[in-house]
Structure 1
C-alpha cells in the first residue's frame, strides 16, 4: 500500500520534474510560434516586402524555431541527468529528444520549402 503522506523530499522532486516538463513544453511552444511566424511571413507578406528582406525574415524565424527545439531538448536532458539516480517518474529523455529532433526536421523542411518557393 502506498504511503498516504509522502515525505517533503518526494513532493519536491515531483515539483521539480513537473517544472522541467513545463519548461520543455514552453520551449516547444516558442519554437512552434517562431516556425509559424516564419512560414506566415513567407506566405502572407510576399506582395508587401522586397523578396530578399522577406526571405531573410522568414529564414531568421525558422532558424529561431530550430534553436528553440534544440534548447528544449538540451534543457530537459540537462536537468534530467542530475535526477537519473532518484526515484521519480519523468518523461524519458529518448522521447524528449525524438520530439525535439522531429520538430527540427520539420523546421528544416519548412526552410527548404521557403527557399524553393522563393526561387520560383
Structure 2
C-alpha cells in the first residue's frame, strides 16, 4: 500500500506541476493572491478563536479563585502533608517494630504446630496479648 501511496503522490505532484505550467501568468498571479488572502483569513480566525478561548479560561479561573478554590487546594495539600507525617511517624515508631515482632512470633508458632487442625493464620488487631 505504501508503494501505491508514494506513486500517487508522485503522479499527483507531476500533474499539479504540469497544470500550473499550463496556466497563464495572470491567472497564476490571481490564484496566488486568493490563496494568500484565504491564508490570512484563516490565520485571523484561528487567532481570534484562541484569544476567545484564553479569555474564557481566564474568566473561569477568576471565578474559581473567587469561590475559594485556591484556599481549598491549600487546605487539602496541608491535610495530605499532615497525613504523610503521621504515617511516617507510625512506621518509624518503636511500637511498630514491637507489633511486627509479635506478629512474626505468632507466625513462627503457627508453623511449629503441625498437628493443628486450623491452618489459617488470623491477625486480629482488636485483641492484645
TM value normalised by structure 1: 0.33
TM value normalised by structure 2: 0.31
Higher relative contact order (Cα pairs below 8 Å, separated by 6+ residues): 1
Structure number, greater radius of gyration: 2
